[in-house]
């Protein structure tokens, strides 16, 4: 994973699924209202994670499950659920013609059955390899956004983005 602000944006996934492009306007409007509700959201780095799939696994920062983060996750899941489609084909991913990792489709398929509410595991993937120890820190979430996913479920194509920072 080569994280960058163009086509592999570092992110914390709140919800993931397949939606119709015709629903994007309604979803982005609802996300804008949700962003207003959670302005100033503070995130706390809690741990370093290693997915443990291989010797060169995905690694990143585990984020503490604060009440505010869990409420935002719950609200995001509730907002997206009515729009979810049961369509799982490679063309749901941006740049799918270039090939996809084996796990991409599996992550999207199982998100709403295995990764929400009490099973939500907030983290920010950094890349592959080993991550050195990092000091504990807190930071403000900058944006709430809707992306089309790319390989490795990276944030590839921006659909809508809303400021979370206090102004």
Q: What is the pLDDT along the chain (167 residues), one digit of tens a residue?
A: 566 777 678 889 999 999 999 999 999 999 999 999 998 899 998 887 766 555 556 778 889 999 999 999 999 999 999 999 999 888 998 888 888 877 888 989 999 999 999 999 999 887 766 666 777 788 888 899 999 988 878 888 999 999 986 65
Predicted local confidence at residue 42, as pLDDT: 92
Predicted local confidence at residue 51, as pLDDT: 61
Predicted local confidence at residue 77, as pLDDT: 97
Predicted local confidence at residue 111, as pLDDT: 94
Predicted local confidence at residue 156, as pLDDT: 86
Predicted local confidence at residue 47, as pLDDT: 81
The span from the CA of 65 to the CA of 165, in Å, is 19
Q: Please provide the DSSP assignment of 120-133 as one string.
A: ---EEEEEES----
Predicted local confidence at residue 134, as pLDDT: 72
As a residue count, the chain comes to 167
Specify the pairing of strand 155-163 against strand 58-63. unpaired
The span from the CA of 129 to the CA of 88, in Å, is 29
Output the pTM of the full model: 0.86
Max Cα separation, the chain? 44
DSSP run (H or E) holding 151: none
The span from the CA of 109 to the CA of 115, in Å, is 10
Predicted local confidence at residue 12, as pLDDT: 92
Contact in structure between 19 and 82 (CB atoms under 8 Å): no
């Amino acid at each position: 994973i080569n994280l960058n602000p163009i086509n592999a944006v570092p992110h914390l996934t709140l919800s993931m699924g397949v939606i119709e492009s015709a629903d994007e306007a309604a979803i982005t409007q609802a996300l804008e209202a949700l962003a207003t509700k959670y302005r100033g959201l503070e995130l706390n780095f809690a741990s370093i994670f290693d997915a443990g799939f291989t010797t060169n696994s995905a690694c990143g920062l585990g984020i503490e499950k604060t009440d505010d983060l869990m409420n935002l996750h719950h609200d995001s899941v509730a907002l997206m659920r009515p729009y979810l489609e049961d369509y799982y084909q490679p063309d749901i991913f941006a740049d799918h013609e270039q090939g996809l990792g084996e796990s991409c489709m599996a992550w999207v398929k199982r998100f709403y059955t295995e990764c929400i509410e009490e099973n939500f595991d907030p983290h920010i993937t950094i890349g592959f390899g080993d991550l050195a120890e990092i000091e504990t820190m807190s930071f403000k979430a900058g944006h709430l956004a809707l992306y089309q996913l790319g390989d490795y479920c990276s944030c590839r194509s921006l659909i809508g983005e809303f400021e979370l920072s206090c102004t």
